[in-house]
Amino acid sequence: MKKKINLIANKEDKNLRIDVFINKRLGEISRTRIKNLIKDKKLKLNKNILISPSKKISSGDVIDFILSEPKKASLKPFKYKLDIIYEDEDLIVLNKPAGIVMHPGAGNPTNTIVNALISYDKNSLSNIGDELRPGIVHRIDKNTSGLVVIAKNNISHEHLSNQFSKHTIVRVYQLLVWGKLRPSRGKIETFITRSSRNRQMMEVSHNKGKKAITNYKTLKTFETKDTPTLSLIECKLETGRTHQIRVHMNYLGNSIVGDDKYKKRFKKIKNINPSLEKNLTNLNRQFLHAKTIGFVHPKKNTKMIFHSNLPNELEIILKMLRNAGK
């Protein structure tokens, strides 16, 4: 079923971004969905096809678009045991392990979290986003572990997407980095854009891209005669840009242990504990874990917060570091 939408901007709407304006008028439509309509050339401003969601509107501007019923995804189910922390009729909070991607894409057509969700319950996922991403409101990287929230219906998807857009979602990560962070706590505030050297990577920019804000604090620094200098860090995100924490840590000169994309060259470590060296060398993921997620429930309107322990392969390394020198 299609629904024709016609909106006229008032004086108080002047200079609002068009995606902000539509979201303000029609709260059930997320800015992500609006951006997808613009990307697909399905939204008109004063009878002209709009190409940018950041376009500012003026009083009297007319916005037209047709809201279509979302497509049903045709995805192969993937038999995979999901670690579900919480579930109700509106959402799922799951603990994603490292080594599996969130949704199908180039090089990962089937064995993803989305395919596992299809196998788990194909009829209880939102379908207003990309048809290859039913239920997916946000993502974490393949080799990052931790908590993600999945939308089971379109109302929940819109509500959660709006919380992400407004940066009201609580997201806390734990990570292990090389060296010491100086200062030991602070706020990193930059722009992040796609790398000009490698289009699969991101980089810090001072004048282009999207604003990215990461709050960090050092929980513990490990520095003994038989260990390299490493620091356990907690990061709280204000924004959620692609590879944000990885890029920001690398920008500070303290790349994440196990991160093969964003890494600095370090001197060869001498006299390191052999067991610790083996675990660090064989770590086939970055030491980055989405420990906490918090949001307002889309229907109950209550605050919810969830926590996840570090997975075993990361906890083993921490235990070795804590015991070093004893």
Q: What is the CATH number of the domain that holds 40?
A: 3.10.290.10
User: Quick one: pLDDT band at residue 71, thresholds 50, 70, 90?
Assistant: low
Which residue segment(s) compose the domain that 136 sits in?
Answer: 84-166
Does one domain contain both 195 and 260? yes
Read off the pLDDT of each residue in 121-126 and give the average, rounded to a whole number: 85
Give the rounded percent of residues in the chain with a pLDDT score beyond 70.
94
The answer, as to whether pTM is greater than 0.85, is no
Q: What confidence score (pLDDT) does residue 66 get?
A: 86
Confidence (pLDDT) at 19: 85
The residue from 67, 92, 123 where one domain ends is: 67
Task: Please tell me whether residues 179 and 162 are part of one structural domain.
Answer: no
Cβ within 8 Å of residue 196, ≥6 positions away: 203
Same domain, 202 and 231: yes
Residue 58: what residue type? S
- How far apart are the C-alpha atoms of 54 and 35, rounded to whole Å? 9
The answer on pLDDT for 52 being more than 90 is no
Catalytic annotation, pick one of 13, 61, 90, 141: 141
What domain count does the chain have?
Answer: 3
In terms of DSSP bridges, do strands 185-194 and 210-222 run parallel, antiparallel, or are they unpaired? antiparallel
Assign residue 268 a region (left: φ > 0; alpha: ψ between -120 and 50; beta: otherwise).
Answer: beta
Identify whether 302 is part of a domain: no
Span 220-235, pLDDT tens digits: 999 888 788 999 999 9
Residue 60 resides in a domain = yes
Question: Tokens in use for 23?
Answer: 């979201």
pLDDT band at 94 (very low <50, low <70, confident <90, very high): very high
Q: Region 101-112: what's the mean pLDDT?
A: 87
21 occurs within a structural domain: yes
Q: Which is it for strands 145-151 and 288-296: parallel, antiparallel or unpaired?
A: parallel
For 96-123, what is the mean pLDDT?
90
pLDDT of residue 202 exceeding 60: yes
Task: Please indicate whether residue 90 is annotated as part of the active site.
Answer: no
Least confident of 12-21, 75-84, 178-187: 12-21
